[in-house]
Structure 1
Amino acid sequence: MDAKFAASRSREVLRHPGRELSPRYSLAGCRAKPVRFDLQPGQSLLDAITAEMERLGGDAAVLQLDGIALEDMHYVIPAGARDDSHAAWYSETYTCEAAQLQHATAMVGRKDGQWFVHCHAVWPAGGQGVLMGHLLNDQCRVTAPFAARGHVLTGALLEVALDPETNFPLFHVRRPAEVAGANGALLTIRPHEDLRGTIERACAELGIGDARLIGLGSLIGAEFRDAGPMLSPISEVLLLDGARVRAGRCAALPLICVDPQQATFQGDLNAGAGPVCVTFEMLILAES
């Protein structure tokens, strides 16, 4: 696979059941306040985050859960579609008795009026290497008190709704009200759009030259500047520390992804070599 194949021919590899919708990305400026989320043990990850959202307030949030210890952790990985109603699906549910997450990001929004969490995580594989998956947050228990880094967002929210293009319930960006003093934005990206290119277009629309990026999603293959390619048309993806925009261009986009065989791939994504599979959700934080 080369960059041209990944970027311009992704529709030959994977097609969603619904017609393509416009716009191809959604963007809402927000005020992002850095806060500490004190997650309490004995609760599900969802309940622990919900309790903190009720305490802290805000329209949405993005948490980084690197280092949190979880037990009775249930997760899924990407899998091929079971029928023609979807282009991709999830694996059977896997269980891990206990894990300390190396990298994890949680996007926090609303579903049916209640707090909802979308989280991708990476943890040690017992021997060598790592495992990665999409956590089932209501089926993962917080082991010990944990102070998570994160941002509470005002002026933009994430709301789950059925997406007719993919036929998945997905986070959609909503703007409840204009907000003064915006220092960031929520971004969601539709299938087949090039990840790096769309980030740069979004930053240009916002007038942001330099930014830090936090997010997760899925890609149809990936080619890296500094590693071998991920060839699967179905994957789950997590941006890593160091994802940055400088002078309006993606200076670095390090990420890790897992394919349906549980193989993980990590590197700095090439331009034109990472089309979105189902969705990508991201917080753009302006840096002066």
Structure 2
Amino acid sequence: MSDPMRPRASLRTAVVWEVLQDALDRRVKATGRESLDVLDTGGGSGNFAVPVARLGHRVTVVDPSPNALFALERRAAEAGVADRVKGVQGDAHGLFDVAERGAYDAVLCHGVLEYVDDPAEGVRNAVAALRPEGVLSLLAAGLGGAVLARALAGHFKEARQALDDPNGRWGSGDPVPRRFTAEQLTALAEGAGLRVGAVHGVRVFADLVPGVLVDTEPGALEALLKLEEAAAELPAFHSVATQLHVLAETGETGETAETGGVNETSEAGEA
């Protein structure tokens, strides 16, 4: 695992980073180019963009928040990758006002679909930004994780409301406008013409384990990371993950079989 993602915060990002880094490495081999063009929609302050740039790739971050883009610029400078990271203000709906069509080897769409008015349009725009045989990384809030978290907190009515609500919301105070099942997220990718290579559950345990246990028990962080990685590929745990990650590709390259993840394509469910 790469050093930039190893701090305690990596409990929230380690699984996605492993899958993403492997996908980028495969694209490097397939294209014969050492540096790829990557688009990070909703990339904020660069949690993924900066580590991707440290791998040697060129990253364009599109985000509606000027403050986030300022933080991105500062983080990229501190990491020594300012020349490979470009931040532009925009959103998924008007993506091509600030980004080029068909110009990127990989597109990251992390934490975006929960907030857009039309998730299907958001995915279609992301796909339209890809070059032939490009890679799309989708990360979105999982329905099951929210239901489980509310129930474990003793908020049983809110847990039931999230379970029954079409958007997976537990109430008017819920800060997340929309959540997804693995089947719904996969269907969005397939509906945009992509081949789904892998589906992973993210933060299956990390959000449920008390921080004091991780911080005080020797070796607990490493053990929890390994547990997260092991559970991420098992479909049985997708239904209780806080987030869901889908890796999908354009074209008929057959590369999806090499992702090392679980192929969980499905025609069921709509966001």
Higher helix share: 2
Q: Which structure has more RCO (C-alpha within 8 Å, separation ≥ 6)?
A: 1
**TM-score, normalised to structure 2's length?**
0.31
Question: How does the TM-score come out when normalised to structure 1?
Answer: 0.29
